[in-house]
Amino acid sequence: MSVALITGGQQGIGLGIAQALKAAGWRLAIAAEQAPDAVADAMQKLGPEARYYQHDLSQIDAVPALLDSVERDLGPVTSLICNAGVPARIRGDMLDMLPENFDWTMNINLRGNFFLAQQVARRMLGQGAEPYRSMIFVTSVSAEMVSPERAEYCMSKAAASIMTKLFAARLAADGIGVFELRPGIIATPMTAGVSARYDALIDGGLVPAARWGQPADIGRAVLPLVRGEMAFSTGSVISVDGGLSIPRL
């Protein structure tokens, strides 16, 4: 039985991925910080076979206990979806950025995701080749497209991009596929506060597809990756952005 561990799976992109995997027959472990309303709503949508585990990515010492609980309840993790992350704590001039705000973003988006993936990878190496094993890192178009008013977020996603390639190179010989998904402008709680700005940019032609992305768009992109249909493409970057990142004159 395939088991997916999804960080931040209680809302937004993570929930879109979880719903796609549920429909495809995966057992689901949702790891997220406590957010009672969002968690309750998500678990109702995902059904009784999905499990929720309270987990703070910055608390890397708690990772072994998290994975032990998932294995006890559902079985070994066969697909890790590193989706959870935080935005810049304060949008503003990067020349005014405070070290503690830089550290807060990096601690979760990079350090927390790395050490979770490290522990999952170690356990995956002890499993057999079936079912197919995979790791998906959800980054952002901001891994390459700069936003100086949220520089620490861009840097965290750029670092997560090379982290994906590192895991892909390390695990390829063991048949574990590792991929990077780069969402563009997606309608989620994270973008809700700046929706008017993005509405105007999309109306002005910023996104060739001329619409917001939806969490379901990301969910559909995940399916062939976790099924092993793109196994020989390990290390690849898959943009899910409606053409936003295409260089244009």
What pTM was computed for the model? 0.94
* Sequence letter at residue 61: D
| 193: confidence class by pLDDT, cuts 50, 70, 90 | confident
Predicted pLDDT of residue 34: 72
- Is residue 205 in some structural domain? yes
Predicted pLDDT of residue 7: 96
- pLDDT: which is higher, 156 or 36: 156
Domains held by the chain: number: 1
How far is Cα 125 from Cα 242, in angstroms, rounded to an integer?
A: 35
Q: How many helices (H) and strands (E) does the chain have?
A: 9, 7
- Is residue 245 in some structural domain? no
Give per-residue pLDDT as tens, 96-110.
999 999 999 999 999
Q: Give the mean pLDDT of 122-144.
A: 95
Predicted pLDDT of residue 33: 86
The CATH number that applies at residue 49 is 3.40.50.720
Q: How far is CA 30 from CA 52, 163, 164, 169, in A?
A: 5, 22, 21, 27
Joined tokens for residue 188: 């989620």
- Is residue 247 in some structural domain? no
| 129: confidence class by pLDDT, cuts 50, 70, 90 | confident
Q: Give the mean pLDDT of 173-195.
A: 93
Reduced to 3 states (helix: H, G, I; strand: E, B; else coil), residue 152 is helix
How far is Cα 220 from Cα 136, in angstroms, rounded to an integer?
A: 13
Residue 196's domain comprises 3-240
- Is residue 227 in some structural domain? yes
Query: Are the beta carbons of 116 and 60 closer than 8 angstroms?
Result: yes
How far is Cα 180 from Cα 160, in angstroms, rounded to an integer?
A: 9
Q: Give the mean pLDDT of 32-38.
A: 80
Question: Which among 167, 145, 157, 168 has a CA at the least distance from the CA of 84?
Answer: 157
Position 39 pLDDT exceeds 80: yes
Q: Give the mean pLDDT of 12-21.
A: 96
- Is residue 229 in some structural domain? yes
